[in-house]
Amino acid sequence: MELASKLLVSDKSISKWETGKGYPDITLLEPLARTLGVSVAELLSGELIENNNRSFNMLRSRFYVCPVCGNVITAAGNASITCCGINIPPLEAEAPGPNCPFPLNIEQVEDEYYVSIDHPMSKDHYISFMATLTGDHVELVKLYPEGPAEARFKMRGVREIFYYCNKHGLFVRKLK
């Protein structure tokens, strides 16, 4: 009855929702989620997303790329990400193998890393972004088709360099 009064619906409506005999109107999803103290994504998935990582480490960062619009999203750990109306899983990074056709070239120029990849940069096949991670910092450079596959990053504590090919996925190179 308390929930019904907060949402301005009948207690019979709430009962139907609880028993699976009915569902709330779509206009009630945000007020319902807010009243219950969860996100709309949590409400719809039925899973509570808890952040148990009290002292975060940026080296646990995850990258997400929307397959519809190409939006690049980073999170300091696992997250529930949606874009263009779909749930987006985190990308799984892999180390480029010894026979990788597009190796990462890293040069030290003063206090920066100059990173380049000899990779096609056409509208159909390109490197979408490069990023570096430190214990407290993510630096991401968005790249575009028909532009160069290169970027500069400050060297300060960089431990990993990521790059994402729209055809082959996410790759990571760990630095010593």
Q: What is the pLDDT of residue 41?
A: 79
Q: What is the pLDDT of residue 34?
A: 84
Distance (Å, whole) CA 75 – CA 62: 5
Q: Which token pair is 35? A: 């009243």
> What's this model's pTM, rounded to 2 decimal places?
0.67
Ranges of the chain with pLDDT below 50: none
Q: Which token pair is 1? A: 């009855």
Distance (Å, whole) CA 12 – CA 157: 59
Helices of type H across the chain? 2-7, 11-19, 29-36, 40-45
Q: How far from chain centre, in Å, is Cα 39? A: 17
Q: What is the pLDDT of residue 82?
A: 92
The amino acid at 103: P
Number of alpha carbons in the 13 Å side-chain half-sphere of residue 56: 13
Q: Give the three-state DSSP class for 32.
A: helix
Distance (Å, whole) CA 166 – CA 65: 9
Provide the β-strand partners of residue 106. Answer: 115
**Contact (CB, 8 A) for 134 and 157:** yes
